């Protein structure tokens, strides 16, 4: 099966379409979803299916009928294009666009001979996140730079969230991340940070647990990946 993502130009076009102001006819859809379901709608755009619009919310992507009567949680596949996952393609473009806001606020373990860059949603209390981090040297040795984004699974009013703020605000965030994932106590710290925004962004683009890895083409891989498997996945998309 061909790669589900098109060229960067097509991805950019998708993002522009999704982020553009909704047409007047889409406003009732936004209003109805927000008032009925309590979701925050950031954009309403055309979908690949006639009669449906694509709705981006604070809890992910959904579809709705143009009159707002029907609301769907679904994946759209294009049978004429080798079962291309249209939903994942659109989300991939949104992920890449959204990552730009965290360009300078990730905790980065940089490969000396960098070949690839991945963004990894992580939680310092997650067992598989800790396993991933114990092998961070293996990823770096394969030329994989790891950019950690925060996804405290217990939510924003939790101890893991506060501890992750302390990691991001530590004098040495890399050292603090390693200590926290080794279950060591870290000094409490506070500063201007984007931990909450990273968590909320993850929820919007399909992250439901940790670790979740975003590849350079916007693909989201859920769960732990050994270094060799992650390298193979990167070779396929680069």
Structure confidence at residue 235 (pLDDT): 95
Are the C-beta atoms of 202 and 121 separated by less than 8 Å? yes
pLDDT by residue for the chain (238 residues), tens only, comes to 434 434 433 443 444 444 444 343 457 899 999 999 999 999 999 999 999 999 999 999 999 999 899 999 999 999 999 999 999 999 999 999 999 999 999 999 999 999 999 999 999 999 999 999 999 999 999 999 999 999 999 999 899 999 999 999 999 999 999 999 999 999 999 999 999 999 999 999 999 999 999 999 999 999 999 999 999 999 999 8
User: Strand, coil or helix: what is 146?
Assistant: strand
Structure confidence at residue 26 (pLDDT): 53
Domains of the chain: 8-94 (3.10.450.70), 103-237 (3.40.30.10)
Structure confidence at residue 27 (pLDDT): 78
Measured between alpha carbons, how far apart are the two ends of the chain, in Å?
16
pTM of the predicted model, to two decimals? 0.83
**Residue linked to tokens 């939510």:** 155
Are the C-beta atoms of 168 and 195 separated by less than 8 Å? yes
- Find, among 59, 65, 61, the residue nearest to 38 by Cα: 59
Active site residues: 123, 126, 129, 153
Q: Which residues contact 223 (CB under 8 A, 6 or more apart)?
A: 128, 209, 211, 212
Q: Give dist(CA 150, CA 125) in Å, integer.
A: 11
């Amino acid at each position: 099966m061909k790669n589900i993502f098109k060229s960067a130009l097509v991805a950019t076009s998708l993002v522009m379409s999704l982020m553009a102001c909704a047409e007047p006819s889409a406003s009732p859809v936004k209003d109805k979803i927000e008032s009925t379901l309590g979701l925050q709608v950031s954009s309403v755009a055309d979908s690949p299916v006639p009669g449906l619009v694509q709705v981006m919310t604070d809890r992910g992507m959904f579809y709705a009928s143009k009159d707002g009567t029907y609301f769907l949680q679904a994946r759209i596949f294009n049978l004429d294009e080798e079962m291309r996952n249209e939903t994942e393609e659109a989300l991939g473009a949104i992920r890449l666009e959204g990552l730009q806001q965290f360009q300078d606020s990730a905790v980065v373990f940089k490969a000396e001979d960098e070949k690839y860059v991945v963004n990894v949603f992580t939680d310092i209390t997650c067992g598989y996140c800790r396993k991933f981090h114990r092998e961070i040297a293996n990823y770096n040795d394969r030329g994989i730079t790891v950019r950690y984004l925060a996804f405290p699974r217990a939510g924003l009013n939790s101890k893991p969230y506060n501890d992750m703020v302390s990691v991001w605000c530590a004098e040495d965030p890399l050292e603090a991340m390693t200590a926290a994932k080794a279950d060591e106590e870290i000094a409490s710290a506070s500063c201007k940070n984007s931990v909450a925004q990273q968590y909320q962004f993850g929820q919007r683009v399909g992250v439901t647990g940790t670790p979740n890895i975003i590849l350079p083409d916007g693909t989201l891989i859920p769960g732990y990946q050994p270094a060799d498997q992650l390298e193979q996945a990167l070779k396929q998309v680069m």
